[in-house]
Amino acid sequence: MTVQERARTFISRRGRQEPVDEQAVARAFFERMEAGDVGGALALTTPGGDFQAVAVGMKGTLGSEGHEFLQELRRALPDLAMTVTRLFVGHDGTAVAEVFLDGTQGDDLFDIVNQEKHVDVKTVWFLHVAGGRIDGIRAYWCQNQLYRRLGVKRLDRVTITA
């Protein structure tokens, strides 16, 4: 068994080496996020794994920057819906998910002042799964679309909306 093949297995409670269902892990992550269970979503991850939210320039670990990002998303968009519209798993164990984010702003989000506007943005997430846990997340979306939906007028004045 190669290293890559081994990474796509996990040791079950019965002590058996069994294949990981990366799609199920990815779906569980988004379901827990949508339910507002940030802790539950993070419980599926490895705290020292890499995290990157490209559009807001956040880069670090899942346990630190990832935690901060997911908390901010849930806090600022309390009715957040995360609809997975496409999901496949590459040979390297990366779950590739297109996710439609939909919610109403209830607090400032990434320095964007809350105007209680509705936001709907298509996003794409790469969740690398190894040994049954997510050990890497990279998320992409268009921040310009987010600004447009939330009433930001100028890129040099994100905190000013008029």
Partner 1 sequence: MSATDVVTAFFEAYRNHDTERMVDLCDLGADFSYVPFEAWGRQRVVRGDGKVCTIGKTIWTTLIDSFPNLTNEVTWMTADDDGNVAVEVVISGTQAKTFGAIGNQGLHYDLPHVFLFHVNEDDRIDDITAYWDGADWNRQLGRIEVD
Residue pointed to by tokens 């990815």:
26
The stretch among 26-34, 40-48, 63-71, 116-124 that binds partner 1 (CB under 8 A) is: 116-124
Instruction: Give φ, ψ of 5 to 5 degrees.
Output: -65, -40
Q: What kind and span of H or E run contains 85?
A: strand 81-89
Query: 100 is written with which tokens?
Result: 């439609």
- Smallest separation, CB 31 to partner 1 (Å): 22
> 44-73: which residues touch partner 1 (CB under 8 A)?
54-55
Name which of 5 and 92 has its Cβ closer to partner 1: 92
> 3-42: which residues touch partner 1 (CB under 8 A)?
none
Helix/strand/coil for 89: strand
CA distance 161 to 55: 19
The stretch among 11-19, 42-50, 70-78, 138-146 that binds partner 1 (CB under 8 A) is: 138-146
Residue pointed to by tokens 């079950």:
12
State the residues that interact with partner 1 by CB under 8 A.
Answer: 54-55, 86, 88-92, 94, 96, 98, 122-124, 126, 138, 140-145, 147-148, 152-156
